[in-house]
Amino acid sequence: MARKLKEFDVIVVGAGPAGASAALRMAQRGLDVLLLERGETPGAKNMFGGMMPFFPVAEELIPDFWMKAPWERHVVKRILYVSAKTSSTSMVFEADAFDCPPYNGFTLFRPVFDRWLAEETTKAGATLLCSCLVKDLIWKGKEVSGVKVGRDNGNVRAKVVVACDGVLSFLAQKAGLRKDFIPSQMALGVKALFRLTEEMINERFNLVRTQGATCEFLGCTDGIRGGGFIYTQTETLSVGIVLHLDALKKSGKAPYLLFEEFIGLPPVRRYLKDARLVEYSAHLLPEGGYRMVPKLFTDGMLVAGDAAALCYTNGLNQEGMNLAIASGFMAAETVIDAFTRGDFSSKQLSQYEARLKESFVLKDMKTFKEAVSWMHTERLFSEYPQLINRIMEEIYRSDGKPRRKIGKIGWDAVKGTISKRDLIADLLKGGKSLLW
């Protein structure tokens, strides 16, 4: 690039959704922003196999966001499978309301979406530099004042650094904002992209036009804590599993073999018939929920997106990209205020955390903070899926014997599988996580 890197108002590290959103908002407000990305292009280092829910912050960042963003399909159908080895029980939800603009959520292809969002930042006046590895922070006393990059340009200084460098955030650790993660807080996502024609996808998922569907699977990981997923793009399917690291290590099983078992399940196999494998990837994900969120600010620096562990699941909803974009936006608003006041201290930048607490980001994470404990219940991924399918099979079996009431079938199945004490404990834990 023609400009020599030396000093900017703000440096944003990581051109994913959080970083690009932060850079875009600050550039829109006239700040001189440098957006650094270690990949060859934005999105090149990202793995994403899911959907992004609609949220108003996106419209504030880019008016008519839903019309301009390069999404693949708008999601109208959610399918939940509870799987056993030779059977599965499914529940389907679809709503006409989700088929109306601005739509409830979208499936995305991250390399395309990330490039588009990063291009929006450059149109607004930000400087984007790819293939640039940030090696360290620059300090001025106790205040962050820039970054050291692995290029000839060397040190780059700024009033504020916004770290959006992913789940393992080297910069957050360097700044003393987070401790080392433990395996129980992390998960490994293994994803493959399969190509089918648009017509085949529409036929198999009973969709029309740009409608999309998502499938989540429970009981598909051979008793290991985790789950499976299928997300529809225009002409591809993102298919994968997510495995809790501590449970995976304890099992001694290879992730790729578990993935092969997953795509061999009857419902998955039917969706993938005649599909062609395009790519295969793996990625670490934060799974610690609200209690995993580190300190988010220090003098001259903020942390956003996955770097701030702003990602959660409650068993039914998986939230990440919307939290990343919203956190990047709120980090930007905080920095804009800091420039107005000429104050980049920790006290001033703490407004960022206050903004997140007042928004859906930390409110949602706090609401479902107990879900992490519930999702660590081993029986959810082994005994319960088997139990549900055994009950359903008994209900529908025709063998000439007198039929029994469902309550009797269920209780007899439970008695041989789960103790009354464990059942009550699991119900109370699940209720605390989702119901009250």
DSSP 402: P
Mapped onto helix, strand or coil, the DSSP state of residue 284 is strand
Q: Residue 249: its pLDDT value, please?
A: 95
What is the spatial distance between Cα 91 and Cα 82, in angstroms, rounded to a whole number? 9
What is the spatial distance between Cα 342 and Cα 245, in angstroms, rounded to a whole number? 44
Residue 9, H or E segment? strand 7-13
| Residue 347: partners with Cβ closer than 8 Å, 6 or more residues away | none
Residue 215's nearest CA partner among 270, 280, 294 is 270
Respond yes or no on whether the N-terminal peptide bond of residue 102 is cis (omega within 30° of 0): yes
pLDDT at residue 153 is higher than 80: no
Mean pLDDT of 253-274: 96
Beta bridge partners of 143: 140
Specify whether the CB–CB gap between 118 and 128 falls below 8 A: yes
* Alpha-carbon distances, residue 385 vs 129, 169, 230, 244, 419 (angstroms): 48, 36, 19, 18, 16
Beta bridge partners of 136: 148
- Is residue 49 very low, low, confident or very high in pLDDT (cuts 50, 70, 90)? low
Mean pLDDT of 376-388: 93
Q: Residue 50: its pLDDT value, please?
A: 78
Please tell me the least confidently modeled range out of 49-53, 98-102, 259-263, 273-277. 49-53
CATH topology of domain 7-66+109-179+294-358: FAD/NAD(P)-binding domain (3.50.50)
Mean pLDDT of 147-173: 92
Mean pLDDT of 295-311: 97
What is the spatial distance between Cα 140 and Cα 7, in angstroms, rounded to a whole number? 14
Please tell me the least confidently modeled range out of 41-55, 102-116, 133-147, 373-387. 41-55
Mean pLDDT of 239-261: 96
- Is residue 1 very low, low, confident or very high in pLDDT (cuts 50, 70, 90)? very low
- Is residue 398 very low, low, confident or very high in pLDDT (cuts 50, 70, 90)? very high
**DSSP string covering 236-298:** EEEEEEEEEHHHHHHHT--HHHHHHHHHTSHHHHHHTTT-EEEEEEEEEEE--GGGG----EE
Q: How far apart are the first and last CA of the chain?
A: 55
Report the length, in residues, of the chain: 436
Residue type, 121: T
Q: Residue 85: its pLDDT value, please?
A: 84
Question: Tokens in use for 205?
Answer: 């998922």
Considering only residues 225 and 430, tell me which one the structure prediction assigns the higher pLDDT.
Answer: 225
> Distance of alpha carbon 330 from its chain centroid, rounded?
18
- Is residue 4 very low, low, confident or very high in pLDDT (cuts 50, 70, 90)? low
What is the spatial distance between Cα 120 and Cα 118, in angstroms, rounded to a whole number? 5
Specify whether the CB–CB gap between 156 and 41 falls below 8 A: no
Mapped onto helix, strand or coil, the DSSP state of residue 175 is coil
Q: Residue 5: its pLDDT value, please?
A: 65
Residue 299's nearest CA partner among 104, 138, 126, 70 is 138
Respond yes or no on whether the N-terminal peptide bond of residue 402 is cis (omega within 30° of 0): no
pLDDT at residue 2 is higher than 50: no
Mapped onto helix, strand or coil, the DSSP state of residue 193 is strand
Mean pLDDT of 21-37: 98
Mean pLDDT of 278-301: 94
Question: Tokens in use for 244?
Answer: 């809790």
What pLDDT digit, counting tens, does each position of 119-151 carry? 999 999 999 999 999 999 999 999 999 999 987
Between vectors from CA 130 to CA 124 and to CA 134, what angle results, nearest 5°? 110
- Residue 401 burial by Cβ neighbours in a 10 Å radius (0-12, 13-18, 19+): exposed
Residue 257, H or E segment? helix 255-263
Q: What is the pTM of this model?
A: 0.93
Boundaries of every domain in the chain: 7-66+109-179+294-358, 373-434
Residue 243's nearest CA partner among 187, 288, 192, 182 is 187
Question: Tokens in use for 159?
Answer: 């009033």
Q: What is the dihedral of CA 92, 96, 99, 100, to 10 degrees?
A: -150
Question: Tokens in use for 88?
Answer: 């599965």
Average pLDDT of the chain, as a whole number: 94
User: What percent of the chain is modeled with pLDDT above 90?
Assistant: 82
Question: Tokens in use for 64?
Answer: 């008519």
Q: What backbone torsions phi and psi does residue 163 show, to the nearest 5 degrees?
A: -90, 115
